[in-house]
Amino acid sequence: VGINYQPPTVVPGGDLAKTERAVCCLCNTTAIVEAWARIDHKFDLMYSKRAFVH
């Protein structure tokens, strides 16, 4: 678990509310393998569209 004290970027008109901190938790259990598979698939789709390549 990690706490990021730098405020996350907020997109005007987006779904996320403005906050001062963000929390991240990484787990390695079989209970969340499907959730990680969905995130991985979405990342791969965005990367194939060059979303992270600047």
- Give the per-residue pLDDT at 49: 87
Q: Which amino acid is at 29?
A: T
**Confidence (pTM):** 0.43
Residue 38 is assigned to a structural domain of this protein: yes
Q: How many domains does the chain have?
A: 1
- Give the per-residue pLDDT at 45: 92
Q: Which residues pair with 3 in a beta bridge?
A: 23
Residue 16 is assigned to a structural domain of this protein: yes
Residue 37 is assigned to a structural domain of this protein: yes
Residue 29 is assigned to a structural domain of this protein: yes
Which tens digit of pLDDT belongs to each residue from 5-51?
A: 788 888 888 887 888 877 777 777 777 778 778 888 998 998 898 87
- Give the per-residue pLDDT at 44: 92
Under DSSP, the state recorded for 30 is: G
To which residue do tokens 């706490």 refer?
3
Residue 40 is assigned to a structural domain of this protein: yes
Domain of 18?
2-48
Q: 14, 35 in Cβ contact below 8 A?
A: no
Q: CA-to-CA distance for 24 and 33, rounded, in angstroms?
A: 17
Q: 16, 10 in Cβ contact below 8 A?
A: yes
Residue 53 is assigned to a structural domain of this protein: no
